[in-house]
Every structure is written in C-alpha cells, then in structure tokens.
Amino acid sequence: MPTIRLGDYLTAPTSGMLDGTLYEHLEKSELSEFLALWEDGHRQALARVSHRIHPTAQIHPTAIIGDNVIVGPRVRVWEFSTVRAGSVLCADVSVGFNCEVTRSFLGERVVLGHRIGINRTLVGADAHLSANLTVAAISMWSPHMSNPEREIILRTPDGLYRCGTPQFGALIGDRVQTGNSISLGPGLALGRDCRVASGVTLAARTIPDRSVITSPHTSDVNVRQRPAHRGRTNAGA
C-alpha cells in the first residue's frame, strides 16, 4: 500500500507548548497510523500541557471552546465560533467569525476566514483558508451518516491509500491558500504551497506540492457598453 508521511505536508509546532506530545513528532508520523493514535494521543497531550488555553490567547466572549481543546500562544478566536472535540490551535492561529472546528489540528499561524467548517482535518503552518470553505469527514455513501462505516480511501499515483477510518477530512499542507466557497473531502491530501480557486470541489485523492486547482466557471463575464439613448428632445415634441 502507498504511504502518506505527514512530514511531507506539515511542519510540526515549534512554540514548545506541545513538547513531549504526539504533536511534537507530527512530521515523523504516517497518516493512517496518526489517525489511529490521535484520540488517545490527544488525551495524553491534555495531561501534559501546563495551560490548556494559553494565557496570551484571546477568545471572544461569544466563542465556545470545548473542555478538551488545546489553544496555543497568541491564538485569536472571533465571534460565534466553536472549537471542540479534541482540536488543537497552535501558536498565532486566527479562527474567524462563525467558524466550526471539530477534531482538527491547525498548525502555527493558520488563518481561517469566516464561516468555515472543518472536521477531522490537519492543517499545516501558514495556511490561509478563505470564507465559506467546508471540509467534510464522512462519506455520503455510508448507509447511516450519523454512524459512518465506509472507510475513507484516497487515490494516489501509487494506488489506493486506505485511511483505516470512516472519518477523515483532509491533510492540508503548509502555506496552502484557498479562495471562497470551496468543498474539500472526505479524504484529501493537499501538498504544500497549493492554491485552490473559488468554487472547487475536491476529495479522495492526493495533490502534489505547488499545484493550482481551478474549476470551470459558468459565469464567464462579457462586459460591453450599451449604445447611447436617443430619445426625442423637447424641441421636437
């Protein structure tokens, strides 16, 4: 089976807050192995960190932070956003207005625009995800989506990659930038320095570093001037 090494996509956190945890060794992990260890590893990380929410983090009063979430130095979470289910926000992350972050890892200096929903996703350092982006983690072909059974599988150049779980959104590499109104996953590995244009839907595959992903647009715009209006003048009335 092909392998997907997290270090080919992500940079491990460097602030020191997560030293001695599963996240410190992120770059050495293989994707399916990390997904299998994630829940237990996060519980162990919670027991090690000195501050579950770092004193320098700024959380808006209307935001909701789950009891098992780790929030790093200088993080900002804006109005009406929810971060839950064992997520990690590394140093200097910004979570914009009305976002939902579930069981996800956001690397250092990640920026989420407004109205973004990501689930069971790993995001690399310095990524910038724009408004109205969604990362789905469950296959709609599961018989019951509330209790998913269908394993998430990615297509790679070396064959099919089995994630070993029915719940996985995406692996988004360092410095990825996206437009708005984008749907990703379930099951996507997006290489470093990729650019994803607005309106793209993408899932179940690996994308090489520095790729540019666009989608055909039906709204190609043609601008022309209307002819001047030639109505009757008062003199001719």
Give residue 226's pLDDT.
57
Distance, in Å, from the CA atom of 35 to the CA atom of 91, rounded to the nearest integer, reads: 22
Superfamily assignment of 6-215 in CATH? Hexapeptide repeat proteins (2.160.10.10)
Query: What pLDDT score does 145 carry?
Result: 76
- Reduce the DSSP state of residue 151 to 3 states and report it: coil
Q: Tell me the whole-structure pTM to 2 decimals.
A: 0.89
Distance CA 184, CA 170 (A): 7
Q: Residue ranges of the chain with pLDDT lower than 70?
A: 217-226, 228-237
Q: List residues bridging with 111 in a β-sheet.
A: 94, 128
Calculate what percentage of the chain has a pLDDT beyond 70.
Answer: 92
Domain ranges of the chain: 6-215
Predicted local confidence at residue 237, as pLDDT: 39
pLDDT at 229: 58
What pLDDT score does 171 carry? 98
pLDDT in tens, 137-180: 998 887 887 888 899 999 999 999 999 999 999 999 999 999 99
Query: What's the Cα-to-Cα distance from 221 to each of 211, 214, 217, 218, 224, rounded to whole Å?
Result: 25, 17, 10, 9, 10
| The predicted structure's pLDDT at residue 159 | 95
pLDDT of residue 231: 53
